[in-house]
């Protein structure tokens, strides 16, 4: 593809992402590239670079658009990004429109004048507000400032970087060392993760689904932070465990490996589609102790029937609660512009409801692990404090004690709860709190 065609494709994909608000950007790109089979690997990489660059820096781009009274569209954002990052000079963009065929449409006189004014400038500008320079919504910046004080901008900046590819060695079938050897044998350079004892990080982004280790179920793609949350559940062979918000089963698979396929795991979710995607993953991984159960809501009748007071309860209950996903904005930069402050209020209400309902399943002496992939205190520490205030039969179990047993080494943060961030730990942002139920 010629440069003009790449730019035009990026424009179309940005408009699609904006229009299909329920579909994440990576899914939009995957669908588009399946249709556009003529786009080679270099073309796809160049197009994705523009699309994700726009999404990561949207606040700064919109600042420049507003400054010149330009409409905010996929086209104007892509053109501004191309010029401000020197991918195309202001004088070069018009030539891409002359390539013919599938090239970007010719510039209007207003666009040409505007792009000329951007020539030689950078995405950042000293006049930009702090939240604009950090490329986060103002309401998010306000919360990050309260939580991280003088370090908040570094936390926000880390969300604009490209996330690494992490995988978890499936200990039901192999070891981490063998996975590393097999991948290196396929020409995929990788190394052990810094914190997770079962994690492997690729040094360069490479597709894995076509590799033999993946097809044989020896590995699963899973961020290192997510692996660590699963390890803090401390699920042991022979126990009864519930993954209450299992989704497509990433943490369910990790729990099954911890338990050595001995015991029982119930993977619950309100989405039959998400749980359905877990079926093939479980089969490939050789996880045969997992029951999948679709719930109508957090208060499904199944929860009441299996509650500790009626059925003895479960040894471990993991609540990986729905959240803003702010800790994963490196991977999903489009999501930061789709979540509003009003959504946060609804999410915190739902998180408390899920936590209260799941607590009924925990057996006396068992543990409830609450986790999110969010950086925001509203969804994390505040939810735990509210829960403990109304549940004197639960207590906060210091995560560090479990860390030393299941992960090993020194715990990465002080305090009784775990908060991982891209800036501080190189993982996605995760929070985890372990709650013990009194006997």
Could you tell me the sign of the dihedral formed by the alpha carbons of 397, 398, 399, 401, in that order? Answer: negative
Task: Kindly provide the b/e burial profile for residues 363-379, where b requires at least 16 CB atoms within 10 angstroms of the residue's own CB.
Answer: beebbbbbbbbbbbbbb
Q: Exposed, middle or buried: residue 126 (CB in 10 Å: 0-12, 13-18, 19+)?
A: exposed
Three-class SS state of 28? helix
Cα distance between residue 250 and residue 428, in whole Å: 15
Three-class SS state of 407? coil
- Residue 193: closest CA among 159, 229, 157, 225: 225
Other beta carbons less than 10 A from residue 23's beta carbon:
13
* β-pair type (240-243, 418-420): unpaired
Q: Which helix (H) or strand (E) holds 169?
A: strand 166-169
Per the annotation, the verdict on 373 as an active-site residue is yes
Residue 403, both tokens: 């860390």
Other beta carbons less than 10 A from residue 34's beta carbon:
8
From the candidates 245, 268, 323, 373, give the one annotated as an active-site residue: 373
Cα distance between residue 435 and residue 417, in whole Å: 10
Counting every residue, how long is the chain? 439
Catalytic residues: 373
């Amino acid at each position: 593809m010629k440069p003009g065609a790449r730019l035009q494709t990026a424009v179309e994909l940005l408009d699609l992402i904006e229009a299909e608000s329920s579909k994440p950007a990576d899914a939009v790109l995957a669908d588009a590239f399946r249709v556009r089979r003529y786009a080679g690997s270099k073309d796809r990489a160049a197009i994705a670079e523009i699309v994700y660059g726009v999404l990561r820096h949207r606040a700064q781009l919109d600042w420049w658009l507003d400054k010149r009274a330009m409409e905010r569209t996929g086209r104007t954002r892509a053109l501004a990004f191309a010029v401000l990052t020197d991918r195309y000079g202001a004088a070069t963009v018009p030539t891409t429109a002359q390539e013919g065929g599938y090239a970007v449409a010719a510039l209007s006189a207003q666009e040409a004048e505007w792009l000329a004014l951007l020539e030689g400038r950078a995405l950042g500008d000293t006049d930009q507000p702090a939240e604009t320079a950090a490329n986060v919504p103002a309401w998010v910046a306000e919360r990050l400032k309260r939580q991280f004080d003088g370090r908040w901008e570094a936390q926000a900046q880390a969300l604009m970087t490209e996330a690494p590819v992490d995988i978890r060695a499936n200990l039901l079938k192999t070891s981490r060392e063998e996975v590393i050897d097999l991948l290196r044998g396929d020409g995929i350079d990788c190394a052990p993760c810094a914190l997770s004892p079962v994690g492997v990080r690729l040094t360069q982004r490479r597709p894995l689904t076509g590799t033999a280790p993946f097809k044989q179920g020896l590995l699963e793609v899973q961020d290192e932070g997510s692996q660590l949350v699963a390890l803090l559940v401390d699920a042991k062979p022979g126990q009864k465990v519930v993954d209450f918000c299992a989704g497509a089963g990433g943490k369910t698979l990790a729990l099954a490996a911890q338990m050595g396929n001995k015991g029982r795991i119930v993977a619950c979710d309100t989405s039959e589609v998400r749980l359905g995607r877990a079926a093939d993953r479980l089969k490939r991984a050789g996880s045969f102790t997992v029951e999948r159960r679709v719930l109508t809501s957090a208060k499904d009748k199944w929860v009441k029937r299996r509650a500790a007071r009626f059925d003895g309860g479960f040894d471990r209950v993991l609540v990986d609660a729905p959240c803003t996903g702010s800790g994963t904005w490196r991977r999903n930069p489009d999501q930061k512009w789709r979540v509003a402050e009003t959504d946060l209020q609804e999410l915190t209400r739902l998180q408390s409801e899920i936590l209260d309902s799941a607590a009924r399943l925990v057996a006396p002496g068992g543990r409830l692990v609450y986790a999110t992939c969010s950086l925001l205190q509203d969804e994390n520490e505040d939810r735990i404090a509210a829960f403990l205030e109304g549940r004197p039969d639960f207590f906060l179990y210091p995560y560090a004690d479990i860390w030393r047993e299941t992960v090993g080494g020194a715990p990465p943060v002080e305090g009784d709860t775990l908060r991982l961030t891209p800036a501080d730990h190189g993982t996605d942002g995760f929070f985890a709190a372990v709650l013990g139920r009194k006997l």
